[in-house]
Every structure is written in structure tokens, then in C-alpha cells.
């Protein structure tokens, strides 16, 4: 039996394959980001499916190859210290990649995500599992994001239950109380979510409003450093909180939803659409639209709409911004961050969480990391973020989330289908 789980992720606009050991060691994690969507200002589902279809085999081939090299390199080290070690038998001279026999299972994202995009990953994962004769494991994408943090934490959260898991991505903004059951399977209870836009969506929409390329989150992060945030500019939306105590029982049709979200829960919901509207009003009030439209064209003409906001590209882009716009960007980011910090720490305190895990694309935001870390230190609560590489969508987190399921024998049916609205 092999010792690696092959993870496959294709829920949105990244095609990814990864090989991960039970202890969380990542032997390879290959991510192909789809650039075709940049000029549309958002992900186009039909294009996403086609791009996944084109990328899935090369990406997996590359991951197998890299993992094969990683195993070989380690084997040489192992040979020196433990010549009798037979873990890696049969790998001699294998630089072409891994073999099916190295796989313990294939894990794939079941949802939530785009139906057509998920379908590509699921179909491919089924085929590989079938050919390799190993089990298929279905993973919830949101659980994957949470495991992106756990897999790197080296047991730092062991025995710290319950944990508060904060998932802030382009499609989702959720707060979960997480703990392990007797089988070692993770259980999650949703204690807060956005009532309108997801956090990353807010970053992306505001970025679009200001003539920045898609996805806008990284651009806002980079540009905000060059502006001065005005705390008074945008009020942070009040978290809607149901009082504890007697709440009239309401009928929940969906049994799964009822189980995950008890009616009597105090909730720590968030809202981002008011903030987005406030930015739009500010732009209109100050007559900034012509400058924004001109900047959008200028960035595009300079080819900056398809680059990451780093180094020379960022320096070149900065030339197109005035102080007022940079301050506006900084003020928006500051308000969005305060919004998340308030909900997360409100929930952590209320539920007595002993640790906090922040994940999803927005967890890459430098201001969010700084604010959350500072608050956690003040409140003496253990906190962790994934490395930047594991913050955005990737297959390593899917494989990592699959390991406890593998151990508990929770395998997917041969009839597994995408579940675009899958809940956690
Ligand atoms: O988790 P992810 O890769 O995909 C989803 O599952 O949605 O998250 C992508 C989101 C995008 O909205 C992107 O703008 C945002 O994460 N994002 C950021 C940063 N990096 C990515 N938002 C704010 N600051 C960042 N540094
Ligand atoms: Zn994601």
C-alpha cells in the first residue's frame, strides 16, 4: 500500500494536483492559475471548465514527477542513515515520477464550487483511483482551506479544541467551531457567515470599482501600503447577533443544515456589501470615475492587468495612482479587516475557542495577518495562518484534509458527483 494521497482541486479557477504524506509533508503541490478570466473581471464558468480540462493531466504529471524526485532525494538520505529501510523499495532510478503503487488514495474536491469545474477534477480523480485500484476520497473545499493551516501547524493545536476556523476566500466567509471526534474525524459547526458578499468578493468588487485588475485582493493589499487609512471614513457593519437564551424554534427543512446550525446558536455573521456601496458612493461623490476609467485603460495598455502586483509591475502601476485613491484603498482595507477581526474574536471569546485558524485567499492579506496576530497576542489565543502558497486554492490542502478520512475508512462512492452548494 502506498503512502501518499494524490489530491486534485478544480473547484474554481486553479487546477491543482499534490502529493501529501500522512504527517502533512508535501512532496509536490502544482497549481496552474487560469489567467483567461482577468480581462472579464471575474471567473467565467465555461472557460474555467475548458482550462481545467486542458491543464489537469499536465499538472498531475508534473506533480507526480516532482514527488518522484523528492522521494528519490530523500531515499538517498535515508540510505545513509538506515540502509535496511525498505519504505522506498522500487524507487531506484525512478526520475520519471511516482507509480500507482505509491498511492494510498486519490482525494478530490466535491464542492462547493463551479459545477463544470468540479466535474473535471472529479472525473479525472475517479479515473486515476480506478486505474490505481485505490479508494477515492471526497473533500469539502472549505475543509481543505482549514487543513491548509492544520497541516503546517505541526500539532500546535493538538488538544486545543474547540478551535475557531475562519475561512475567508473569494466565494466564502465562514466561522466554524472545529474539533475532532473519537474516530479522529474533524467536526465543524458554523457559527457565523457573511450575509451578503464574501470577503474576497468585496476586495475584488471594490478593486474593479477602482479600475484595478482581477483578482483585486492582492492589488488592494499591495497598494494599501502606500496609502493612509482613515478610520472614520467607513463604519464597520455591526455584526448581527442573536441573543442567547430563548429563541423561537424555526423549522429547518434541510436536515444537514439543522444539524450544523443549531437554532439557539449565537451567531457572528458578517456583512460586506454596505462597505462596497460606501466606497462606490465615495467615488461618485468625489467625481473619481473618469480617472478610474483612464487608469484601467492605462494599466491594461501597460500589460499590468495580467501581472501580480509585485516588484517592477507594482512600481509601474503605482505611477498611475494619486494619494487620495491610495488612501481610499487603505481605508477600505482597514474597514474590511476590522470587520473580520471583530466577528472572529467575538466568536472565539463567546465559544471559548483555544486556538484560531485563518484560511482562504484573503488570509494572504498582510493587514489582516497583522491585525489578527496582534489581537491574538493580546488575548493570548494561539493563532495560525497557512503559508502564502497554501492560502489560495491548492490540492495539498485537499489531500491533507483527506488523510483523517482515509484512516477512518470514509471513502466516496463510485457515483460521486459535484455538489456546487456543498456545506460544511
Ligand atoms: O481561496 P481562494 O483562492 O479561492 C476561493 O476559494 O475563493 O480565494 C481567492 C480570493 C480572491 O477574492 C482574491 O482577491 C483574494 O482571495 N485574495 C486576497 C489576497 N490574495 C488573494 N484578498 C486580499 N488580500 C490578499 N493579499
Ligand atoms: Zn478556496
Task: Give the domain CATH number at 31.
Answer: 3.30.420.40
Q: Is the CB of 393 within 6 Å of ligand 1?
A: yes
What is d(CA 111, CA 65) in angstroms, rounded to the nearest whole number?
Answer: 27
**Residue 413 located in a structural domain:** no
The CA–CA distances, whole Å, from 150 to 227, 357, 364 equal: 34, 8, 16
Residue 44's pLDDT band (cuts 50, 70, 90): confident
- Counting ligands in written order, the one closest to the CA of 215 is 1
Task: Work out the angle at residue 168's Cα, subtended by the Cα atoms of residues 181 and 349, and round it to the nearest 5 degrees.
Answer: 60
Q: Is the pLDDT at 95 greater than 80, yes or no? A: no
Q: Do residues 281 and 173 both lie within one domain?
A: yes
Q: Is the CB of 113 within 6 Å of ligand 1?
A: no
Q: For the chain, percent helix, then strand, then coil, each to nearest 5?
A: 45, 15, 40
The average pLDDT across 252-276 equals 66
The confidence score (pLDDT) of residue 81 equals 36
Tens of pLDDT, residues 158-187: 888 899 999 999 989 999 999 999 999 999
Query: In the chain, how many domains are there?
Result: 2
The confidence score (pLDDT) of residue 1 equals 66
Q: Which atom of ligand 1 is nearest to the CA of 359?
A: 1
Q: What's the CA-to-centroid distance between 292 and ligand 1, angstroms? A: 22
Q: Do residues 276 and 345 both lie within one domain?
A: yes
Give the range among 251-265, 279-293, 300-314 with minimum mean pLDDT.
251-265
The confidence score (pLDDT) of residue 239 equals 52
The confidence score (pLDDT) of residue 33 equals 84
Q: Do residues 87 and 55 both lie within one domain?
A: yes
Binding residues: 141, 145, 167-171, 204, 217, 221, 365, 393
The average pLDDT across 384-397 equals 91
pTM: 0.86
The average pLDDT across 312-325 equals 93
Q: Do residues 139 and 42 both lie within one domain?
A: yes
Residue 136's pLDDT band (cuts 50, 70, 90): very high
**Residue 412 located in a structural domain:** no
- Counting ligands in written order, the one closest to the CA of 33 is 1
Half-sphere exposure of 24 (CA within 13 A, CB side): 13
What is d(CA 199, CA 347) in angstroms, rounded to the nearest whole number?
Answer: 17
Q: Do residues 338 and 191 both lie within one domain?
A: yes
Residue 50's pLDDT band (cuts 50, 70, 90): very high
**Residue 256 located in a structural domain:** yes
Domain encompassing residue 126: 4-152+393-407
The confidence score (pLDDT) of residue 42 equals 74
Amino acid at each position: 500500500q502506498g503512502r501518499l494521497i494524490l489530491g486534485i482541486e478544480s473547484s474554481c479557477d486553479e487546477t491543482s494536483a499534490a502529493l501529501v504524506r500522512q504527517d502533512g509533508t508535501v512532496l509536490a503541490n502544482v497549481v496552474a492559475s487560469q489567467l483567461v478570466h482577468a480581462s472579464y473581471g471575474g471567473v467565467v464558468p465555461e472557460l474555467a471548465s475548458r482550462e481545467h480540462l486542458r491543464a489537469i493531466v499536465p499538472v498531475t504529471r508534473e506533480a507526480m514527477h516532482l514527488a518522484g524526485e523528492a522521494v528519490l532525494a530523500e531515499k538517498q538520505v535515508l540510505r545513509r542513515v538506515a540502509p535496511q529501510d525498505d519504505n522506498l523499495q522500487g524507487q531506484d532510478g525512478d526520475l520519471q515520477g511516482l507509480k500507482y503503487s505509491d498511492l494510498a488514495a486519490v482525494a478530490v474536491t466535491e464542492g462547493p464550487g463551479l459545477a463544470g469545474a468540479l466535474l473535471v477534477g472529479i472525473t479525472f480523480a475517479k479515473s486515476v483511483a480506478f486505474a490505481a485500484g485505490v479508494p477515492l476520497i471526497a473533500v469539502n473545499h472549505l475543509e481543505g482551506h482549514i487543513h491548509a493551516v492544520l497541516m503546517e501547524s505541526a500539532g500546535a493545536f493538538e488538544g486545543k479544541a474547540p478551535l475557531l476556523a475562519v475561512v475567508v476566500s473569494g466565494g466564502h466567509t465562514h466561522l466554524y467551531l472545529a474539533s475532532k471526534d473519537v474516530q479522529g474525524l474533524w467536526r465543524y459547526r458554523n457559527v457565523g457567515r457573511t450575509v451578503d458578499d464574501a470577503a474576497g468578493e468585496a476586495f475584488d468588487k471594490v478593486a474593479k470599482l477602482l479600475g484595478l485588475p482581477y483578482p483585486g485582493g492582492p492589488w488592494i493589499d499591495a497598494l494599501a501600503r502606500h496609502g493612509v487609512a482613515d478610520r472614520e471614513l467607513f463604519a464597520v457593519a455591526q455584526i448581527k447577533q442573536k441573543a442567547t437564551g430563548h429563541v423561537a424554534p424555526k423549522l429547518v427543512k434541510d436536515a444537514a443544515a439543522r444539524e450544523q446550525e443549531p437554532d439557539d446558536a449565537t451567531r457572528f455573521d458578517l456583512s460586506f456589501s454596505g462597505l462596497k456601496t460606501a466606497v462606490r458612493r465615495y467615488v461618485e461623490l468625489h467625481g473619481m470615475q473618469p480617472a478610474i476609467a483612464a487608469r484601467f485603460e492605462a494599466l491594461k495598455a501597460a500589460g499590468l492587468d495580467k501581472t501580480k502586483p509585485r516588484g517592477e509591475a507594482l512600481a509601474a502601476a503605482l505611477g498611475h495612482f494619486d494619494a487620495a485613491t491610495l488612501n481610499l484603498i487603505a481605508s477600505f482595507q482597514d474597514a474590511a479587516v476590522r470587520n473580520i477581526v471583530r466577528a472572529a474574536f467575538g466568536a472565539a471569546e463567546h465559544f471559548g475557542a483555544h486556538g484560531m485558524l485563518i484560511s482562504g485567499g484573503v488570509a494572504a492579506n498582510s493587514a489582516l495577518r497583522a491585525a489578527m496576530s496582534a489581537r491574538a497576542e493580546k488575548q493570548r489565543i494561539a493563532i495560525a495562518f497557512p503559508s502564502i502558497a497554501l492560502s489560495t486554492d491548492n490540492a495539498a490542502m485537499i489531500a491533507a484534509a483527506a488523510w483523517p478520512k482515509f484512516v477512518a475508512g470514509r471513502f466516496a462512492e463510485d457515483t460521486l458527483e459535484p455538489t456546487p452548494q456543498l456545506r460544511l
